[in-house]
């Protein structure tokens, strides 16, 4: 008879073996590559003594290619649930040291199990991706496993925040799980993400490129815009996850802004009264404005390296998480283009679905002209941005700091697009276009026929600038709600957020709108 004591001892041994994973050799290999192990990543993320591991005894059922004799600790992925900054979070962490963290049928089932739980309890998920992809020995079972993950990624979309950390290889179809999630963090030098690798590309198109230049963190962050954050190492990636979780609600039923502090705290901020240069052609630092209106100057920028002409990210104002969208005069003068439209549309939709109010800062000279942009579908992409703003029902507050011209003025959450509060600084220039362009068109004849065309042109531009490049025409038509001093901006936003708590924006019932793709 096996005694109870023996049964417990046997269980302890089995558990120890599983927790040991592939042991010292595996750990050493992983560390040599500059990576943490799957368990170290979890340990660094979670609040101490809150981890509940799930399905650690799961085994694969493959028999082909000698797999029946192969034991894969934790099936190559550690899954469980924990508290992170006191929030319940479901976590899956692929163990590259266990058969390359390859995804077999049961590996996928483990990930699906925590996704199902996250859906039931309404809590975020974090997936650490460090895997050689579909477990080749398991063939179509492995593919089906991926399908099940993708399906759940889609079910969870807009219900709980989904965060992917790519901290190793993530190639082929495997890349579509992170791509279906809300935020992707990649680790510089140790992670790569692409659909077809350098070898296949060489065979098919003859192009020569290495893995880092094809799908390294910087490429995905800066060129393709596939990812949201770049981390220097695993530790920094985990810090970013932490920060995201701090700003985000646990699910789409949480209305963070309803629980704002009753006492509105603000200081007059004279720095902001001096930030706009006298010369309208000079630029200034929009990030500084964002820092000045954010609690403790804390701003988590999202997609900081992609489409830098627009800034997106999270702050808190008076304790309420807000999403900020702002033109960046320091980069391409803050124009809108295809990438800026895509980046902001994605961000706006995230904010809306998770009840995060959207604050927009406007200094936009227009959509950038160019054949490449037109051929690339700037109409379709720009429409995404308009659609995203107009269809969002969360509180929306716009502050026009300087230029707000033409279609781009509307695209940046103008009053007529359903925005709840629009305020302009006295430096705002709300017009169909800039003074130079406008004067050239409407005073063309006068300029050409004058004795001194250059002087007349200068005069006309100045005339237009003084009379029309101001906030007062828009204000006279009620197209902005208020003109405010820059120093009062934080107060204006905080008061508006408080008032808009009870906002009720009911839209006609439909299955879903047709956002231009």
Contacts to ligand HXC by CB under 6 A: 99-100, 102, 132-136, 143, 146, 169, 171-174
Q: How far is the CB of 360 from ligand HXC (least distance, A)?
A: 37
Q: Are 79 and 18 in contact (CB under 8 A)?
A: no
Q: How far is the CB of 238 from ligand HXC (least distance, A)?
A: 22
- Our answer to whether residue 173 is catalytic in this structure is yes
Q: How many CB atoms lie within 10 A of CB 15?
A: 13
In the complex with ligand HXC, the residue whose CB is nearer, 146 or 350, is: 146
From 139, 158, 211, 407, active-site residue: 407
Q: How far is the CB of 93 from ligand HXC (least distance, A)?
A: 16
Q: How far is the CB of 37 from ligand HXC (least distance, A)?
A: 14
Nearest CA-CA partner of 215 in 205, 200, 203, 237: 200
Contacts with 138 (C-beta within 8 Å, 6 or more apart), sequence order: 60, 62, 64, 67, 104, 105, 145
Q: How far is the CB of 140 from ligand HXC (least distance, A)?
A: 10
* Cβ burial, residue 423 (10 Å; 0-12/13-18/19+): buried
In the complex with ligand HXC, the residue whose CB is nearer, 173 or 319, is: 173
In the complex with ligand HXC, the residue whose CB is nearer, 73 or 133, is: 133
- Our answer to whether residue 211 is catalytic in this structure is no
β-sheet bridge partners, residue 162 = 125
In the complex with ligand HXC, the residue whose CB is nearer, 135 or 152, is: 135
* Cβ burial, residue 30 (10 Å; 0-12/13-18/19+): buried
From 122, 139, 158, 172, active-site residue: 172
Nearest CA-CA partner of 475 in 408, 426, 436, 410: 426
Q: How far is the CB of 35 from ligand HXC (least distance, A)?
A: 10
Q: Can you tell me the distance from the alpha carbon of 484 to that of 479, in angstroms, rounded to the nearest whole number?
A: 14
Residues counted in the chain: 517
β-sheet bridge partners, residue 396 = 358
From 173, 197, 225, 377, active-site residue: 173
Q: Can you tell me the distance from the alpha carbon of 93 to that of 337, in angstroms, rounded to the nearest whole number?
A: 37
In the complex with ligand HXC, the residue whose CB is nearer, 216 or 434, is: 216
Q: How many CB atoms lie within 10 A of CB 223?
A: 12
- Our answer to whether residue 323 is catalytic in this structure is no
Q: Can you tell me the distance from the alpha carbon of 233 to that of 239, in angstroms, rounded to the nearest whole number?
A: 10
In the complex with ligand HXC, the residue whose CB is nearer, 143 or 368, is: 143
- Our answer to whether residue 133 is catalytic in this structure is no
Of all residues in the shown chain, the one whose CB is closest to ligand HXC is 132
Catalytic residues, by residue number, are 172-173, 407-408
């Amino acid at each position: 008879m096996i005694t109870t004591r023996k049964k417990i001892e046997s269980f302890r041994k089995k558990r120890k073996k599983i927790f040991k994973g592939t042991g010292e050799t595996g750990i050493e290999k992983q560390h040599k590559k500059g990576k943490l192990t799957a368990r170290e990543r979890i340990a660094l993320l979670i609040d101490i003594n809150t981890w509940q591991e799930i399905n650690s005894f799961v085994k694969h059922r493959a028999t082909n290619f000698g797999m029946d004799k192969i034991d894969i600790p934790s099936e190559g992925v550690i899954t469980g649930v924990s508290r992170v900054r006191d929030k319940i979070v479901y976590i899956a962490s692929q163990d590259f040291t266990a058969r390359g963290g390859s995804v077999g049928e049961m590996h996928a089932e483990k990930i699906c199990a925590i996704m199902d739980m996250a859906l039931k309890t309404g809590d975020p998920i974090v997936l650490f991706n460090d895997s050689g992809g579909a477990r080749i020995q398991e063939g179509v079972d492995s593919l089906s496993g991926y399908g099940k993950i993708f399906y759940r990624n889609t079910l969870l979309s807009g219900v709980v925040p989904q965060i992917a950390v790519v901290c190793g290889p993530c190639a082929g179809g495997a890349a579509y799980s992170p791509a279906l999630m809300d935020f992707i963090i990649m680790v510089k030098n140790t992670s790569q993400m692409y659909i077809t690798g350098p070898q296949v590309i060489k065979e098919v198109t003859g192009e020569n490129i290495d893995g880092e230049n094809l799908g390294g963190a910087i490429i995905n962050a800066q060129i393709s815009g596939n990812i949201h954050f770049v981390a220097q190492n695993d530790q920094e990636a985990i810090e970013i996850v932490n920060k995201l979780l701090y700003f985000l609600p646990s699910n789409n039923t949480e209305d963070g802004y309803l629980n704002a502090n009753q006492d509105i705290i603000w200081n007059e901020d004279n720095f902001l009264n001096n930030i706009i240069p006298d010369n309208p052609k000079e630029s200034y630092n929009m990030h500084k404005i964002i820092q000045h209106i954010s609690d403790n100057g804390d701003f988590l920028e999202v997609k900081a390296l992609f489409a830098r002409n627009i800034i997106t990210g999270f702050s808190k104002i008076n304790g309420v998480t807000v999403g900020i969208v702002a033109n960046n005069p320091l980069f391409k003068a803050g124009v809108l283009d295809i990438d800026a439209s895509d980046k902001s549309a994605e961000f706006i939709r995230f904010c809306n679905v998770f009840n995060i109010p959207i604050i927009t800062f406007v200094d936009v000279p227009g959509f950038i002209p160019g054949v490449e942009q037109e051929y690339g579908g700037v109409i379709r992409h720009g429409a995404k941005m308009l659609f995203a703003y107009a269809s969002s029902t969360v509180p929306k507050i716009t502050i026009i700091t300087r230029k707000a011209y033409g279609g781009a003025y509307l695209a940046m959450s103008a009053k007529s697009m359903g925005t709840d509060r629009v305020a302009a600084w006295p430096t705002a220039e709300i017009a169909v276009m800039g003074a130079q362009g406008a004067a050239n068109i409407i005073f063309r004849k006068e300029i050409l026929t004058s004795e001194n065309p250059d002087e007349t042109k200068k005069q006309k531009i100045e005339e237009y600038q003084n009379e029309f490049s101001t906030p007062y025409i828009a204000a006279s038509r009620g197209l902005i709600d208020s003109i405010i001093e820059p120093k009062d901006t934080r107060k204006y936003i905080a008061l508006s957020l408080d008032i808009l708590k009870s906002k009720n924006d009911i839209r006609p019932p439909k299955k879903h709108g047709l956002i231009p793709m």
